[in-house]
Amino acid sequence: MGVAIGDCLLDLYAMQNEGLLASESIGVAANACASNSLNALMALEADQRRRLRHRLHALLRADATATDRRATTSRHLVRQSDVDMLLPADVGDYTDFYASIYHATNVGKLFRPDNPLLPNYKYIPIGYHGRASSLIPSGLPVQRPWGQTRDGDADPKFTPTKALDYELELGFFVSVGSSLGKSIPISETEEHIFGICLLNDWSARDIQAWEYQPLGPFLGKSFATTLSPWVVTMEALAPFRTAAFSRAGGDPAPLPYLSSPSDQAHGGLDLWLEVSLLSPRMREANLPPAILGRSNFRDMYWTMAQMLTHHASNGCNMRTGDLLASGTVSGADKSARGCLLELTSRGKEPVTLPSGEQRRFLEDGDEVILRGFCEREGFRRIGLGSCSGKILPASAR
């Protein structure tokens, strides 16, 4: 385990072994730092995690000269470029939602121009159960998947996808779990959410289009989902909380189990997200990645609390380290669209890269990079690191 400090990380495992975290007030949290995943720390109460953060702040302060603590602590700073980053947690279950009304509307228009939103969208946080086994850390390549596709009325074919896409998403981890048969009231969800990370839900749109009816996503998404290794805790995000999305006049109010005054007042998050693409030709020409979309998480129709509460509302037990994702984060403007399916209108309006190339969907060698940050006057800017993956050609069959 490590904490990001600029372009370095603080090795908490080494800190714990040397006794630098020894303190009666943080004993349990300090012991969790000897683990090789965040699960043990996630399972603790928020107050225990908060005391650990305060201890680390004290050790790293510029005036922390007592017994040369700061110099001692600095020995355990390692450059991020010198380490291999892993998945941040042992994820037992992964669920992906569809919480952006802008994304849902844009995609719906491509398939149902006269009725883009299905009748349930404004009443229920829509989601599907993903595949935890194919979660991969940022930096690992993604191989173009094979699958069944169908063009028009022709017979389906088994072929590599021709419509590979990214999805700009935010993931959040369950901290304290819940028992089978027990729900999580929306007033208590904050006790069950540890923190957030960047997530790319890679999607093969042609495979997805043929298979999704009537049960939803399957092989068009289960081949890979990329996670950032960095998790920003909800305690650190407190200054950037904002009101929940303001629903349009005439929209139904959330059902009582999905509504609370606290969530309406503070359930949103003022967090900027952006997605960039670097093609092989751009890489050869030393061109920087091209930003394709920039959106804000405050525009999500459903809050994290509503997603978690709904997920557990039927008695589904949640476990520490379970991962929930927001679905594509898109905004009202075309510049705020979080996937190529939206941005290119299903390939009909290709985007032009700085190299002069055009993209309808991703090509082999393309690298997709997600970034995110929070900023507000009077507070330090908080970054989410990056989440990247490069596309490899399909395997031979």
Do 304 and 202 lie in one domain? The reply is yes
In terms of phi and psi (left: phi > 0; alpha: psi -120 to 50; beta: otherwise), the region of 105 is alpha
Distance set, CA 142 to CA 145, 168, 223, 329, 393 (Å)? 9, 16, 9, 21, 9
- Of 51, 82, 113, the last residue of a domain is 82
pLDDT for position 70: 66
pLDDT for position 186: 98
CA nearest neighbour of 89 among 235, 231, 234? 231
CA distance 380 to 53: 15
Amino acid identity of residue 154, one-letter, is A
Whether residue 87 is contained in a domain is answered as: no
Structure tokens at 10: 């603080």
Do 53 and 104 lie in one domain? The reply is no
Sign of CA dihedral 317, 318, 324, 326: positive
Do 128 and 274 lie in one domain? The reply is yes
Do 52 and 128 lie in one domain? The reply is no
List per-block mean pLDDT (blocks of 10 residues) for the chain, which spans 397 residues: 91 87 80 90 91 86 60 86 94 98 96 93 97 98 98 94 98 97 97 97 97 94 97 96 97 97 98 98 98 98 98 98 98 97 97 98 98 96 96 96
Do 74 and 207 lie in one domain? The reply is no
Cβ atoms 132, 323 nearer than 8 A: yes
Whether residue 170 is contained in a domain is answered as: yes
Q: Which domain CATH number covers 254?
A: 3.90.850.10
Number of compact structural domains in the chain: 2
Whether residue 88 is contained in a domain is answered as: no
Whether residue 376 is contained in a domain is answered as: yes
Do 74 and 98 lie in one domain? The reply is no
pLDDT for position 64: 55
Do 164 and 282 lie in one domain? The reply is yes
Whether residue 220 is contained in a domain is answered as: yes
Structure tokens at 73: 């602590």
- Of 50, 82, 114, the last residue of a domain is 82
Reported pTM = 0.95
Do 241 and 387 lie in one domain? The reply is yes
Do 134 and 274 lie in one domain? The reply is yes
Do 101 and 73 lie in one domain? The reply is no
Owning domain of residue 193: 94-392
Cβ atoms 360, 350 nearer than 8 A: yes
Whether residue 282 is contained in a domain is answered as: yes
pLDDT for position 317: 98
Do 188 and 263 lie in one domain? The reply is yes
Structure tokens at 360: 């309808």
57 is catalytic: no
Do 267 and 376 lie in one domain? The reply is yes
Whether residue 119 is contained in a domain is answered as: yes
pLDDT for position 55: 85
Q: Backbone phi, then psi, for 276, in 5-degree steps?
A: -125, 160
Q: Which of 103, 192, 310, 311 is catalytic?
A: 103
- Of 48, 82, 116, the last residue of a domain is 82
Whether residue 397 is contained in a domain is answered as: no
CA distance 275 to 359: 14
